[in-house]
Amino acid sequence: MDAHGRTDAAVLLPLYGWPRRPGLVFTERRPDLRRHAGEISFPGGRQDEPDEDLRTTALRESNEEIGLDPAAVELVGALPPTGTFVTSYKVHPFVGLIAEPAELELAPNPAEVGAILHFGLDELREGYGMKRLVRRGVPIRTPTYTVERHLIWGATARILGEFLERVSR
């Protein structure tokens, strides 16, 4: 499976409450960051070493960003990679089962994460829509998910859409 992007990265879709009342954990990036400021994303990032297993990358980054212990995650699947347009990352998404967020000792890394968010899959599905956004002066029509005041768009929305399509089958 291929996607555009020069730099490999990995994200974790932390899935809780499966199968009764499933939801996902997201991060809201700090508003003062140079890249992706204030955006909603899955925990993740670049490989530390070119030969680092991408599953390890997703778990390591989730631990660094939200304090999610890798031992508390049961990796259950992967989704096709998704390319980012601005940063040219090839993002490899992995799905991991976790306990309810309230049962975990999650804490945002203050250097990167403004807040840890968790939304039910039903809320996410209800918040889907195609929107016209203007980014860096360029209008784009893109899939989005709006839950409460939070807007999920870009690569995160594309990954989320792929995930929701697969779990609804």
CATH number of domain containing 76: 3.90.79.10
Answer whether residue 134 is part of any domain. Answer: no
- Token pair, residue 169, equals 């089958």
Predicted confidence at residue 36, as pLDDT, reads: 67
Answer whether residue 132 is part of any domain. Answer: no
Answer whether residue 87 is part of any domain. Answer: yes
The residues of the chain scoring below 50 in pLDDT are: none
Predicted confidence at residue 13, as pLDDT, reads: 98
Answer whether residue 157 is part of any domain. Answer: no
Predicted confidence at residue 144, as pLDDT, reads: 95
Answer whether residue 13 is part of any domain. Answer: yes
Answer whether residue 146 is part of any domain. Answer: no
How many other β-carbons are positioned within 10 Å of the β-carbon of residue 4?
12
Q: Please tell me the pTM assigned to this model.
A: 0.92
Count of domains observed in the chain: 1
Question: Domain residues for 69?
Answer: 7-121
Predicted confidence at residue 89, as pLDDT, reads: 80
Predicted confidence at residue 159, as pLDDT, reads: 97
Answer whether residue 39 is part of any domain. Answer: yes
- The rounded distance, in Å, linking the Cα atoms of 169 and 71 is 29
Predicted confidence at residue 6, as pLDDT, reads: 67
Answer whether residue 21 is part of any domain. Answer: yes
Predicted confidence at residue 168, as pLDDT, reads: 84
Predicted confidence at residue 23, as pLDDT, reads: 98
- The rounded distance, in Å, linking the Cα atoms of 66 and 147 is 20
